[in-house]
Amino acid sequence: MRIPSLFGKSRGAPPPHPEFFDADGETLYAVGDIHGELHLLERLVKKIRADVERSQTEGEKTVVFMGDYVDRGPDSRGVLEYLAELDIPDSNIVFLRGNHEQQMIDFIDRPYEKRRWLEWGGDETLASFDIEPLIPTAEESEFINTAKTFGEAFGGLRKFIEEKTVLYWQTGNIVFSHGGMDPSLPVDEQRPKTMLWGSENFMRFGGPSGFWHVHGHVIHESPGIFGNRIAVDTGAYKTGVLTAARITDNGCAFLEQT
C-alpha cells in the first residue's frame, strides 16, 4: 500500500481539491481498468479481501470496479464471468460501465456501423469467446454474422452489463465514473458520453468542484491525485500493473498488483 507524497502533474492548472475526504465512514476501493487481465484481477481482489478482513478496516466496505473490463487483454470472457459471480464478504460491489463495454454492446446491435470496435480491442474479446476476428475490408454480411455469433455466445453476460453497470456512483464527497465529468455541469446533470469517454476539460480542470473524482479511462504511469482527480488506470494490459485506490475519511492510498 502506498500513499502518494506529491500531487501528480497535469496539463494546465490543476483543479482545486476538497479540503478533506468524506467517505461517509466507509472504506472504499476503486479498481482500475482491467482490460481482460483476469490473473491480475484475481490477485488484486485477493488483496482487497484480505484488507476488508483486517480488524483495522472499519465501517461499511464498497468495492467499485471502474469499467473497461474487456478488450485488449487476453481473457475478456474470463473477466466478465468472474465479475458476474463475484462476492466479497461484508462488502458492497458497484460496477461502472466503461466505453469499451458500451462499444461491445453497440457492435452486437449495429455491427457494420460500429466495426471500429474490432480495432480497439474487440478482436481480442472475440478470440476469448473462440470467435475468429474479421479483416477490416470484410463484407457487411460477415460483420453481421460475426455479431450474431458473438451475441449468442455472450448470452447472460449481456444482462450483467446492461443491468448491473452504472455510469457513476457517489458517496459523501467522492464520485466515481469511468471517464470523469464535465467541470461545468453538476454531478447529477452529466452527459453519458462524458462519463464513458472522458473529456479534455476533465483532464485539465478536473470534475465539478467540491468533490473528489475517481476515474479510469486514461492511462497514467502511476496512480495519483491530480487536483480533484484520483486516477487509477495504470494500463494493466500494457504494463502488467492493475491498481486500486483505497479511500477512507482519512485519505487515499493505492494498492498495486503485478
Local confidence band at 136 (pLDDT 50, 70, 90 cut-offs): confident
Q: Is the pLDDT of residue 105 over 90?
A: yes
Average pLDDT (28-44) is 98
Residue 201 lies in a domain: yes
The SS3 call for residue 36 is: coil
| Burial per residue of 155-169, b for 16 or more beta-carbon CB atoms within 10 angstroms, e otherwise | eebeebbeeebebbb
Task: Judge whether residue 16 has pLDDT over 50.
Answer: yes
Residue 190: DSSP 8-state? -
| Residue 149, domain member (yes or no) | no
Phi-psi region of 174 (alpha: psi -120 to 50; beta: other; left: phi over 0): beta
Residue 91, class by beta-carbon neighbours within 10 Å (0-12 exposed, 13-18 middle, 19+ buried)? middle
- pLDDT at 12 (0 to 100): 54
CA–CA distance, 68 with 236 (Å, rounded to integer): 11
**pLDDT, position 63:** 98
CA gap 79, 35 in Å, rounded: 8
Is the residue at 108 inside a domain? no
Give the structural domain span for 44.
27-95+156-257
**b (16+ CB within 10 A) / e for 11-47:** eeebbebeeebebeebbbbbbbbbbbbbebbeebbeb
Residue 139, classed as helix, strand or coil, is coil
Residue % of the chain over a pLDDT of 90:
90
Closest Cα partner for 120 from 137, 133, 109? 133
Give the three cell numbers for residue 130. 473462440
Euclidean distance between CA atoms 1 and 16, whole angstroms: 25
- Is 62 strand, coil or helix? strand
Assess if residue 14 is contained within a domain: no
In a domain, 80, yes or no: yes
> Are the beta carbons of 41 and 77 closer than 8 angstroms?
no
Whichever domain contains 217, its CATH number is 3.60.21.10
Residue 186: count of CB within 10 angstroms of its CB: 10
Q: Buried (b) or exposed (e) across 229-253, using 16+ Cβ within 10 A? A: bbbbbbbbbeeebbbbbbbbeeebe
Instruction: Tell me the pLDDT tens digit for each residue of 141-193.
Output: 999 999 999 999 999 999 999 999 999 999 999 999 999 999 999 999 999 99
193 within domain boundaries: yes
pLDDT of residue 14: 61
pLDDT band at 248 (very low <50, low <70, confident <90, very high): very high
- Model confidence pLDDT, tens digit, residues 65-98: 999 999 999 999 999 999 999 999 999 999 999 9
Residue 121 lies inside a defined structural domain of this protein: no
- What's the number of domains the chain is made of? 1
Average pLDDT over residues 102-113: 97
Q: In this model, does residue 49 exceed pLDDT 60?
A: yes
Tell me the angle at which helices 157-164 and 140-154 cross, rounded to the nearest 10 degrees. Answer: 80
Share of the chain above pLDDT 70, in %: 94
Backbone CA torsion sign across 138, 141, 146, 151: positive
Instruction: Give residue 58's pLDDT.
Output: 84
Mean pLDDT of the chain: 93
Question: Which residue, chain included where needed, has cell 466503461?
Answer: 98
Instruction: State the residue for C-alpha cell 487476453.
Output: 74
Nearest Cα residue to 233 out of 115, 100, 114: 100
Judged against a pLDDT cut of 70, whether residue 217 lies above it is answered with yes
In the structure, what pLDDT confidence band is assigned to residue 13 with cuts at 50, 70 and 90? low
Instruction: State residue 112 phi and psi, 5-degree precision.
Output: -75, -40
Q: Is residue 147 part of a domain?
A: no
Whole-number pLDDT of residue 8: 35
